[in-house]
Amino acid sequence: MTLSHMPPRYLAATSAHFDDPTRRLVLGMVAGLAGLGLAGRAMAADGTPIRLGGILPLTGPDASVGIQQQRGLRFGVSQINAAGGVAGRPLDILYEDDEGRPDQAVISFNKLVSLQGVPLIFSAFSGPTLAMAPLATRKKIVLVNGGAQADRLAKASPYLFNTIPVAGDEIAVLAKYLASVGKKTAGILYEDDAGGTSGRDDFVRAFQKVGGKIIAREPVSFGQTDYRPSLLKIASVKPDVLFVMLSDGLGPLADQIHQMKPAFTIVGTSFFNDPAALHNPGSDGWLHTQVQIKAPPAVATAFQKMFNVEMEFWGAQYANAVFIMAKAIEKVLSQGKPITGENIHDAIFSIQTFDVMLPAIFRTNTAVMEIDIMQIKDGHHHLVQEFKAD
């Protein structure tokens, strides 16, 4: 059984994943960028695993993204453990499948906290993360979101940390770019949920701010696969661009765009990093924002050796989230404090600037990161323009 087909549970890292030159480069990156001071500390180096939680959609409509995110977590853990762990202790992530459902996410949260005693949980998608946020506040458990982008996440809980910009940050960059290339009118196709409506409202504000005009708005349901009626309505008013905010269904959308061949350009955010759309000819020419990914080649090589797939966007995001949180946990241990959600929370703000694989600054609970404009072409993302973080 290959690693890419193993069941969704924690896999301990071993040096067998890489050949010696790649392993040295990767471990150097982990130790250097994360600054963990990994093996030289006597304190807390008793070998007791540091157990964290991960609540992701591993089955259901969002499973393709959830599995990418889990690969990123597993990879991040493997690198840190292969380099000696955090202050000599290995990381371990216990996974729960929430199927992308808020109610199941709450059940999983309570299970991990009450039965396993985890101080930190990695999450995904806006609805489930927002459902867990009040529990994180009440129980002082750090919740780490590396994928959801609803604006409400920015202030949902003092214990919720977003290691990816919220939708509003990316959309502001997108609107500036569209104005710079002469796009003046837009339609919006959005999922009628927390993330979709948040993205819709952000785009309306940002596009109007740069002088653009919204001439069509079409809501769709989560899990919907037939977008033709909405696309025909939007095409009839002839917008320059169609802003799409969907967490699911980009594959069918690309199929239908390929059949219709509309005159407008499809634009969006990091959610366009969906393999179902990326490798579909209907997505050729789509423009989208995403945070800058500048992983060293050795890291991408190590990821591919471990999973037999290229390092995807969400894989990079969630590996990066592990590196950030490992650095915060190391600081807690260096101060002689117990690993609690409250202490991890304080350590994140104490460190503030994390010079890891994808550098992030936490002035608030949402990371400030540099954002790129990308274009999909022949199944790959191509850089169009860079925007510096404020």
Q: Into which CATH architecture does domain 3-165+294-369 fall? A: 3-Layer(aba) Sandwich (3.40)
Q: Which letter does DSSP use for residue 378 in this model?
A: T
Total Cβ atoms within 10 A of residue 6: 11
pTM of the model: 0.80
Give 10-residue mean pLDDT values along the chain (390 residues): 33 37 47 44 66 97 92 98 96 98 98 98 95 99 94 96 93 97 98 87 97 98 91 98 90 94 95 83 94 82 95 93 98 98 99 93 94 92 81
Whole-number pLDDT of residue 304: 95
Task: Give 104-167 as a DSSP string.
Answer: HHHHHHHHHHHHH--SEEEE-SHHHHHHHHHHHHHHT-EEEESS---GGGGGS-TTEEESS--H
The residues spanned by each domain of the chain are: 3-165+294-369, 168-291+372-387
Whole-number pLDDT of residue 62: 86
Whole-number pLDDT of residue 42: 38
168-291+372-387: CATH topology? Rossmann fold (3.40.50)
Fold matches, 3-165+294-369 and 168-291+372-387: yes
Nearest one of 115, 264, 135 to 189, comparing CA atoms: 264
> Per the structure block, which two tokens stand in for 245?
């905010």
Whole-number pLDDT of residue 99: 96
Nearest one of 379, 372, 315 to 64, comparing CA atoms: 315
Whole-number pLDDT of residue 33: 42
